[in-house]
Structure 1
């Protein structure tokens, strides 16, 4: 049985800061589509068990459209963006200039928009992480799983029996005409990836005083 990786408060803050740097870049790209200010931030990082993760995601599945992007290369993980009916309506109005948007079945254009938003945010985050952590990682094209999301995540969850996902909850907030919309985003890595990230961060800390100097 694998013991839970130990992470200090400082290391947690450094990981959050790395992700926030990536999210700032993503926010700029997203703003171009949303035609207004976008703020992305990481409010929380937690280590949770696989079963809890699947329960959490299954809870969202009934009420949200879930877009999944896998992270591959040196790191193994995924992002899930969760869009409620209200999010889809709002994004369709703002980004596609649609009026009187109907809730329910997605049009091809709406699904393309959600995939593109996920692609922009995951892509920017992965690029920044690769730069800062000097890792060879890339995001796979986003997809909208048609079956249960837990089935779609099996590559990461089930084939790694020692896996304990490190889950980051990211709140994507964008404002348009002073109205604010929040999109939940879950980012998670397997235990091996988490340990690799910690090793890199600890090397930073030994050689440098802070993250800014290590970039």
Structure 2
């Protein structure tokens, strides 16, 4: 079975996730006392190698904040940035005047907090829109290649919902990805819930 989202369903997913990152941006803006803008311009449902090829276009090694989720849907979620951009992101969020040593010391804590706020904002928005509950695990920070960050279960081709995310603060922009890794069953459930959501608001 292949699960595919129609153009209308992709638009609905993008709308739901933009609500989530909008909430996350508001929370992060309060934390850093500066306006942070987050947006999700696109969403794609991809399979196995196609998803890995799509994401590998950004960098060989990446920085990821990853957490598992379960409930209405089950899988794992990750916020991905090219490794070369991770310190830039920390510097943008915390303080432009920090030294390189100070940024490095604060990198792990800051990235985990940023990822936690963004991922939980997205998952909360999904749960609200699709009328269910989603629980999450404690987020972890990974510096690794994509195969390590998003492992493939033996004999099971993963389904990845891939979202591009634009992160803007102080007129500077970094682009990354939010990825939801699901098995085929969870992807099918997600597609049906999105279809039901569209029907409910029509």
Q: TM-score, normalised by structure 1?
A: 0.77
Separation in structure 2 between the aligned mates of residue 88 and residue 77 of structure 1, nearest angstrom: 24
Q: Secondary structure at the match of 2:194?
A: helix
**Would you say 1:69 and 2:67 are equivalent positions?**
yes
Query: 2:129 is matched with which residue?
Result: 132
Q: Higher strand proportion, which one?
A: 2
Cα–Cα, structure 1 residues 201 and 90, in superposed 2: closer, same or farther, change >3 Å? closer
Q: Secondary structure at the match of 2:186?
A: helix
Which aligned runs of 4 or more in structure 1 are off by greater than 6 angstroms?
none
**Cα contact 1:165–1:188 (8 A) shared by 2:** yes
| RMSD, aligned CA | 2.8
**Cα contact 1:79–1:188 (8 A) shared by 2:** yes
- Structure 1 portions without partners, runs of 5+: 210-215
**Cα contact 1:69–1:80 (8 A) shared by 2:** no
**Cα contact 2:160–2:179 (8 A) shared by 1:** no
Matches within 5 A, 1:1-215: 2=1, 4-57=2-55, 60=58, 62=60, 64-75=62-73, 76-89=75-88, 91-92=90-91, 94-96=93-95, 98-102=97-101, 106-107=104-105, 109-145=106-142, 148-154=145-151, 157-159=152-154, 161-171=156-166, 173-176=167-170, 179-190=171-182, 191-209=184-202
Separation in structure 2 between the aligned mates of residue 70 and residue 141 of structure 1, nearest angstrom: 8
| Deviations 1:155-196 (CA, angstroms, capped at 9, x unpaired) | xx325714332322222x2222xx313241222242333322
Cα–Cα, structure 1 residues 162 and 96, in superposed 2: closer, same or farther, change >3 Å? same
Cα–Cα, structure 1 residues 6 and 51, in superposed 2: closer, same or farther, change >3 Å? closer
Separation in structure 2 between the aligned mates of residue 80 and residue 64 of structure 1, nearest angstrom: 10
Separation in structure 1 between the aligned mates of residue 15 and residue 92 of structure 2, nearest angstrom: 32
Q: Tell me how far 1:15 sits from its aligned partner.
A: 1.0
> In the comparison of the two structures, how many residue pairs are matched?
200
| Greater gyration radius | 1
Separation in structure 1 between the aligned mates of residue 190 and residue 111 of structure 2, nearest angstrom: 29
